[in-house]
Amino acid sequence: MLQANFIKENREKVLERLTVRNFKDAHLIDEIIILDQKRKDIQADSDNIQASINSSSKEIGNLFKQGKKEEAEEKRTNVANWKIELKELQEEADLVKSKLEDALLAVPNVPHPSVPAGNTDEDNEVFKAWEGDFPKLPERHFPHWELAEKYGIFDLKLGVKLTGAGFPVYRGKGAKLQRALIAFFLDEAEKAGYEEFIPPLLVNEESARGTGQLPDKEGQMYHATVDDLYLIPTAEVPITNLYRDAILNEKDFPIKMTGYTPCFRREAGSYGAHVRGLNRLHQFDKVEIVRIEHPEQSYAALDDMLEHVAGLLDKLGLPYRILRLCGGDLGFTSALTFDFEVFSAAQERWLEVSSVSNFETFQSNRLKLRYRDANNKKHLVHTLNGSALALPRILAALLENNQTENGILVPEVLRPYTRFDIID
RNA sequence: GGAGGAGUGGCAGAGCGGUUGAAUGCACUGGUCUUGAAAACCAGCAUACCUUUACGGGUAUCGGGGGUUCGAAUCCCUCCUCCUCCGCCA
């Protein structure tokens, strides 16, 4: 959520940058400015009335002590009238505030200057293309879902039996490979200075609001209505919320956190070839990295995160490319996002395995997450996060790219974790 | 799940209807003293919003929400959290 003040002071710039993501609602922007002014006016009025009530109350107390009953009674009627007035003002204030909140919630983050205009994923800019070789597959090769069946790596039909579509059951070496990837990613994050967390998988409404899942995107999350809790769609939610309502010192930066969690997404996806196998699931595993940064450092941090994710893919030997998302494809809360896609050789497709974003102050405003500068002034921090990495598509690409006549080869870096070299 | 008790500033801890945004101690910051440090002493030290060029002023906040009252940290209702005991349980 942007700050009303920021919008007011940067009206033209905000409008201009938002056109990059096809947001052109100048009316909404102006409404915010008007509502915010109205809010201030009402508060000034009601503060004045409250001040009168407060001082009268003190006088009434004194008058009673002095036995001046009549004067006291007179003031009491005054106070009663003010209270009626105050109540009306407060009702108006509540209305204005909720309208303002709604309007602010409808405004997406302002894209970074480097974000290209565009409507769909086809307009994304290839920030770093793959210049290496693509895997050479054997004559007879298979997409990962057929390999899964052949080698007993995961079973979607069993998942349907237990739960429903989109809930895979990993088994045998498939389960071990999954566990190996998680451990590998966490170890790499630790080496890069990220502190590991194991957060709750259910969060309350406040947390879901903090990172921007609520309101608006409730359809995306599984909701345990009896207890009013939400299954997390990503570790970003609990981990970023660790710092909700906090005031940091400049020396606390950078804050680097990581965590492995299962992720749950309701999004009733389409069916067909593009979502077959592990391409799109309701439950999947992911290691996430989250950073809380000084505003001046946040873009350097973003670069650092890109490097980290690229390093993981290099070590796994997967061909990948990096995209800079265009305005139309950019998430609502993000100022700048880079997607990583790996090439899955049997499907002959690029699969998104990571999304690394800088939210600038869009989340921290909601989270009330600030820092104190050298002059003791408080400012909002910048928050960032990225997948490092999402497991299913990594697994899909590994299976497809590493298949041989004799089985599927495990990448060198994972062998200490799996303790087997080949799935056959 | 049952029965009790408690939630006050960064921490500890007073206050239990009227200049109490809140005593006191610790911590923290600045100063005096000191060759330096410690100690001692003096001063400052919550958050949010509104207002002011500035100095400053106003309002709200004593777990959250609601109520009683001219006036609530203090009384009432409700929710949350924590502690103790009992039950259940990986």
CATH number reported for the structural domain that contains residue A386 in this entry:
3.30.930.10
- The CATH number of whichever domain residue A95 belongs to comes to 1.10.287.40
User: Is the residue at A322 inside a domain?
Assistant: yes
Domain boundary among A105, A132, A149: A105
Contact yes or no for A356/A141 (Cβ under 8 A): no
C1' nearest to CA of A60: which nucleotide?
A: B70
The whole-number Å distance from A81's CA to B19's C1' is 24
C1' nearest to CA of A372: which nucleotide?
A: B47
Pick out residues whose CB falls under 7 Å from strand B.
Answer: A 40, 43-44, 46-48, 50-51, 53-58, 60-61, 64, 76, 79-80, 83, 247, 370, 378
User: Is the residue at A44 inside a domain?
Assistant: yes
Contacts of A52 (CB under 8 A, 6+ apart): A82
The whole-number Å distance from A330's CA to B41's C1' is 61
Q: Verify that A101 and A24 share a domain, yes or no.
A: yes
The whole-number Å distance from A255's CA to B38's C1' is 35
Nucleotides of B under 7 A from a protein CB: 18-19, 47-51, 57-60, 70-71
The whole-number Å distance from A50's CA to B61's C1' is 15
User: Is the residue at A382 inside a domain?
Assistant: yes
Per-residue pLDDT of chain A (424 residues; tens, 9 = 90+): 899 999 999 999 999 999 999 988 899 999 999 999 999 998 888 889 888 888 888 888 877 777 777 777 888 888 888 888 888 888 888 888 889 988 998 899 999 999 999 988 889 999 999 999 999 999 899 999 999 999 999 999 999 999 988 999 999 999 999 999 999 999 999 999 999 999 999 998 888 888 888 777 777 899 888 888 899 999 999 999 998 888 888 888 899 999 999 999 987 555 666 678 888 899 999 999 999 999 999 999 999 999 999 999 999 999 999 999 999 999 999 999 999 999 999 999 999 999 999 999 999 998 888 888 877 788 899 999 999 999 999 999 999 999 999 999 999 999 999 999 999 8
User: Is the residue at A137 inside a domain?
Assistant: yes
The whole-number Å distance from A292's CA to B21's C1' is 32
The whole-number Å distance from A228's CA to B82's C1' is 21
Q: Verify that A43 and A174 share a domain, yes or no.
A: no
Q: Verify that A384 and A337 share a domain, yes or no.
A: yes
Query: In the prediction, which pLDDT does A321 show?
Result: 96
Query: In the prediction, which pLDDT does A279 show?
Result: 85
Query: In the prediction, which pLDDT does A30 show?
Result: 93
C1' nearest to CA of A378: which nucleotide?
A: B47
Query: In the prediction, which pLDDT does A57 show?
Result: 85
Q: Verify that A271 and A137 share a domain, yes or no.
A: yes
Query: In the prediction, which pLDDT does A209 show?
Result: 87
Query: In the prediction, which pLDDT does A359 show?
Result: 95
Query: In the prediction, which pLDDT does A273 show?
Result: 61
User: Is the residue at A398 inside a domain?
Assistant: yes
Q: Verify that A125 and A83 share a domain, yes or no.
A: no
User: Is the residue at A116 inside a domain?
Assistant: no
Q: Verify that A130 and A268 share a domain, yes or no.
A: yes
The whole-number Å distance from A295's CA to B64's C1' is 32
User: Is the residue at A111 inside a domain?
Assistant: no
Q: Verify that A84 and A171 share a domain, yes or no.
A: no
The C-alpha angle with vertex A302 and arms to A298 and A303, in degrees rounded to 5, equals: 120
Q: Tell me which amino acid residue A240 is.
A: T
Q: Which residue is listed with tokens 């579509």?
A: A165
Enclosing domain of residue A69:
4-105
Q: Verify that A79 and A150 share a domain, yes or no.
A: no
User: Is the residue at A110 inside a domain?
Assistant: no
Count the domains in chain A.
Answer: 2
Query: In the prediction, which pLDDT does A145 show?
Result: 92
User: Which strands make up the sheet holding A255-264, listed edge to edge?
Assistant: A125-128, A320-324, A336-344, A349-360, A382-390, A283-293, A255-264, A195-197
